[in-house]
Amino acid sequence: MLTGKHLIAGLWVGGDATFTNEPVSGTPDSFAIGTPELVDRAAQAAEEAFWSYGYSTRSERATFLRAIADEIDARGDAITAMGCKETGLPEARLIGERGRTTGQLKLFADHIEAGDYLDRRHDVALPDRAPLPRPDIRLMQRPIGPVAVFGASNFPLAFSTAGGDTAAALAAGCPVVVKGHSAHPGVSDFVAQAIAAAIETCGVHPGTFSQIQGGNRAVGQAVVTHPLIKAVGFTGSLGGGRALFDLCAARPEPIPFFGELGSVNPMFLLDGAVSARGDVIAAGWASSLTMGAGQFCTKPGVAVVIAGPSADEFIAATGAALAETGSQTMLTAGIAMAYHNGRDRVSGTSGVREVMTSTCDFRNATPYLFATTAAEWLANDTLGEEVFGPLGMVVTACDADEMLAVAQSLQGQLTCTLHMDDSDAVMARRLMPVLERKAGRVLANGFPTGVEVCDTMVHGGPYPASTNFGATSVGTMSIRRFLRPVSYQNIPEAVLPDDFG
């Protein structure tokens, strides 16, 4: 059953002030509103926990991660039902997302047991080296301390309470304070119960994990400015993320803010591919564009193509495919309103024509397709702003040079995609140096809405896609965000951390 409360260092804490979720159907549920005082309690407990959890063995932490996964699965039916109620996401999507969530917890367990992430190095002493001897120096990655994680609106499981940021931090040895998202507090409540059960089963310090529900912006500000918090993981809007980033930078002790903020994820359709299979690409794009009502951070919102008959056919085929998509429920009323406003902004922009329009209202979303020229795109920066929802834009370039200019004009992206055939290799080679500077992931002949959780994935990119281009929020490399290198000079082996053994 729901607690409706915050989890603070093993205790379920309520309060007089409450907020309710916004269910698609059924009766709203009530939850306690977070406060800065609760943030302080959670951060203090996390710091206390760090002195044991931060120095626990990799095997102990791996066991804990697997126990969390098992406890989440044990509550699977309740989590799915609540997720459908709060977000409008279909049951199959939520079951799949739960599998991704438990899978990445288990992946991190395997990863830390292998030990490669520690990046252990050893330069042996050279006492006879001239003109100066060299000391014995070792290096290893160590956990940074308590970490704050913000739940995301569009992934109530995989990017929220026990999502990738939390899994990476716990794997590294960092206690976590989660600021729950008000879009799905019920799901967050059930997942926090699972983590609490795993803490008890594994004998982990209860301060290792706390969750403070939303309902109050002061909670987010208090989390990122608390002096005991050493890093922040965030997935959300550019405006909200940038405000939190600025707070982190303005602290007396600035800390890293690992924010994934948004991206239009452009696709570049090269001539050979468009001529040979433009209709197939159009159908695939329409499916990717509308998946989950377009509420994926990797939704490919822009297609760049060189003008001509094949481009015209591609645009028409995309519009026809999108017209077959019905209305979908968006995650929150606020997200739906932002989508409607974004649609109106694009449709009212000079030089943009409507290819396929529809009608949507309230919490619903239907697809829209617009087209503009590369010249208009290059002259108007607002066309490159993300619209969160199933809206697509086709940009037609007059030639290869103008297509390259569009690529060079891009802000930082999570992904860039090439649709190409063998005959397009020359143009693809021209684009590749630009695209790899613009995005964290470059792919060919696919759609970026599938983000594989694995060793080689990068989910991040230059600003404003993310606030730290050297990091990823998906995949095992994401653990690096919550570690720092420490050198040990002439430290006796009996005193060195056990992980050197």
Residues 233-255 have pLDDT tens digits of 999 999 999 999 999 999 999 99
Q: What SS3 state is found at 202?
A: helix
- Residue of 30, 63, 93, 51 lying closest to 199 (CA atoms): 63
Query: 326 vs 45, 358, 366, 367, CA distance in Å?
Result: 48, 9, 6, 8
**What is the reported pLDDT for 361?**
78
Asked whether 431 and 404 are in contact (CB, 8 A), the reply is yes
Mean pLDDT of 471-490: 98
Is the confidence at residue 215, as pLDDT, over 90?
Answer: no
Q: What is the band of 397 on the pLDDT scale with cuts at 50, 70, 90? A: very high
Active site residue 84: no
Mean pLDDT of 312-325: 97
Is the confidence at residue 6, as pLDDT, over 90?
Answer: yes
Q: What is the band of 5 on the pLDDT scale with cuts at 50, 70, 90? A: very high
CA distance 366 to 420: 29
Q: Is the CA virtual torsion 37, 39, 43, 46 positive or negative? A: positive
Is the confidence at residue 450, as pLDDT, over 80?
Answer: yes
**What is the reported pLDDT for 204?**
98
Mean pLDDT of 300-313: 98
Residue in 22, 47, 48, 260 annotated catalytic: 260
pLDDT above 90 as % of the chain: 96
Active site residue 174: no
Query: 93 vs 98, 155, 326, 336, CA distance in Å?
Result: 9, 10, 17, 19
Report the DSSP beta bridge partners of residue 391.
368
The tens digit of pLDDT for each residue in 350-366 reads 999 999 998 887 899 99
Residue in 297, 360, 402, 416 annotated catalytic: 297
Is the confidence at residue 25, as pLDDT, over 90?
Answer: no
Is the confidence at residue 99, as pLDDT, over 80?
Answer: yes
- Residue of 208, 216, 262, 242 lying closest to 33 (CA atoms): 216
The tens digit of pLDDT for each residue in 47-72 reads 999 999 999 999 999 999 999 999 99
Mean pLDDT of 189-203: 98
**What is the reported pLDDT for 359?**
83
Q: What angle do CA 297, 303, 305 make, to 5 degrees?
A: 160
Higher pLDDT, 230 or 262: 230
Amino acid at 29: D
**What is the reported pLDDT for 360?**
81
Is the confidence at residue 271, as pLDDT, over 80?
Answer: yes
Mean pLDDT computed over every residue of the chain = 96
Is the confidence at residue 9, as pLDDT, over 90?
Answer: yes
Q: What is the band of 330 on the pLDDT scale with cuts at 50, 70, 90? A: very high
The tens digit of pLDDT for each residue in 110-144 reads 999 999 999 999 999 999 999 999 999 999 999 99
Neighbours of 25 (CB within 10 A): 8
Mean pLDDT of 263-289: 98
Asked whether 468 and 242 are in contact (CB, 8 A), the reply is no
Mean pLDDT of 81-100: 96
Mean pLDDT of 193-215: 96
**What is the reported pLDDT for 267?**
98
CA distance 7 to 197: 12
Mean pLDDT of 95-99: 98
Mean pLDDT of 403-429: 98
**What is the reported pLDDT for 362?**
84
Is the confidence at residue 33, as pLDDT, over 80?
Answer: yes
The tens digit of pLDDT for each residue in 102-116 reads 999 999 999 999 999
Mean pLDDT of 212-237: 94
**What is the reported pLDDT for 156?**
97
